[in-house]
Chain A
Amino acid sequence: MKGGIEEVWLKQITPKQFSDRLNDTFQQEMKEGLVKTPPPRS
């Protein structure tokens, strides 16, 4: 996410590809317990 948007701006990947990559990384980290779930909203 930190660097990926630069690749979009520089036309190396599309917004969809960026979003796919972000989602893959996030879902993997969530599976590994690396994502802190935010507190419940009232």
Chain B
Amino acid sequence: MQTPRLTSKYTRRTLVAGAAASAVFGSSIRPSLAAPKVINWWYEGATPAQQAALERYLTQPFNASQSDYKLVIEYRGSGLPDQLLVALAGGQGPDIVLTNGPAWTQRFVTSNKLLDLNAFAQKFGWKEKLAPIALQLGTYDGKLIALAKTIETQALFYNQTLFKQKSWTAPKTLQETEALADTMLKAGIQPFVAGNSGQRFANRHLLGIVYNNYCSPDAVYKALCGELPWNAPVFVEAVELLNRWWDKGYFGGKRYFSLNMNQSFAVLATGKAGMAMQGTWAFQWVPDTFDKTKQELGITALPQLAPNVPYPVFVLGIGADLAINAATQVAEGCAMVFDRLMDYGFVEKMSQVWEGEWNIPFAKAPPSVATPDRIQAEAARLRAGVTEAHGRSGRPRPTTT
């Protein structure tokens, strides 16, 4: 699908018309030339409450703060990645390009569809504001192409109400995990909620977990550098483990294909399932799940799935990248929007409404915020811990929850 960008374009004719209008109406009426230029941002999906928060904390303040640009956000849903591929290939698409992270951004880099942000980074001081590793991951051949919009990690989420009722404890090893999962199955409880309906990328989340927690982060790093093949025995064993769990019914069998991630998370909140190996993006589903069932959510590190793997492991993921379309006419305005996002106050406000999706990788962990909400506090602690662990050296250090 190709959709024309909404960015205003001024022709010589409109310039002349604007000048004429100015002459006729004098200074009491704003000439058409001064109309703000539209900055178009295609966003993925968001609930009405999340959209309202973005309007309240970003769009309205940004548009009120200056008269040169007008930010317009369009919610495109889960089709966004494919829409971007088609639109940018045709030299169209939004001014602000939101990708699913560095691997996705790479697709547009090789075809020169994104602007170099180095000049803006200099102007706005982004290199001081953001964690070096996040900048490195957005840099391609010396050009800063993308800024990480949100960093995330994966953890073991569990229904604490159910665990208390059954006197279960969260597993820390492979043996404990399988023993507990088998006990759950016998009790008619699904061990792990998971689903990929309309979200086949969710398969990768499970693979990432077994690769990191069974093979080890070092093995994954070597494979990503081309120093260890992805069909090395340790990776095959990890896939066999995931296959064994599937066969035992740990993920609910074919229900996996009929539920998406948030629908499956809702099952966890009912107590019909015990655990979820999920990313920190799952925090955004808490208001519609655990808050409604009034059950308690527990969060801890993912279990160590092989004895040689460190524990705990908190991987660093970049869930979304922000970049500027090379065909834009409003690059400066896009950079001004990015700069608004890189603000502790903005992240704090957004996270109260939309936790898990606005984890800007600041160079320095944001100041701690007192909140009576236990889940928000847990999410903030996890966010700060991941930033701190990965932020400076680029090498993750163990953290605890």
The one of B103, B201, B221 in contact with A41, judged by C-beta atoms closer than 8 angstroms, is B221
Contact with A along B110-125 (1 / 0, CB 8 A): 1000000000000000
Contact assessment for B106 and A36 in the assembled complex, using a CB-CB cutoff below 8 Å: yes
Given A15-B239, A20-B231, A38 and B225 touching (CB < 8 A)? yes
Contact with A along B253-280 (1 / 0, CB 8 A): 0000100000000000000000000000
B361 at the interface (CB under 8 A from A): no
Q: Which A residues lie within 8 Å of B239 (CB)? A: 5, 8, 15, 18-19
Secondary structure class of chain B's binding surface, majority of residues: helix
A-B pairs under 8 A by CB, number:
79
CA A26 – CA B226 in complex, angstroms? Answer: 9
Chain B: interface size category: 35 or more
Which A residue's beta carbon lies closest to that of B105? A36
In the assembled complex, how far is the CB of residue A36 from the closest CB belonging to chain B, in whole angstroms? 5
The residue in A15, A34, A35 that gathers the most chain B C-beta atoms within 10 A of its C-beta is: A15
Interface residues in B222-249 by Cβ distance below 8 A to A read 223-226, 229-231, 235-236, 239-240, 242-243, 246-247
Interface residues in B180-236 by Cβ distance below 8 A to A read 200-201, 203-204, 206-207, 221, 223-226, 229-231, 235-236
Given A2-B200, A2-B201, A19-B231, A39 and B133 touching (CB < 8 A)? yes
Q: Which A residues lie within 8 Å of B246 (CB)? A: 8-9
The one of B137, B203, B221, B395 in contact with A36, judged by C-beta atoms closer than 8 angstroms, is B137
Given A39-B136, A40-B394, A22 and B201 touching (CB < 8 A)? no
Taking Cβ atoms with an 8 Å cutoff, the residues of B that contact A are 102-103, 106-107, 110, 133, 136-137, 140, 200-201, 203-204, 206-207, 221, 223-226, 229-231, 235-236, 239-240, 242-243, 246-247, 257, 393-395
Taking Cβ atoms with an 8 Å cutoff, the residues of A that contact B are 1-6, 8-9, 15-16, 18-20, 22-23, 26-27, 30, 33-42
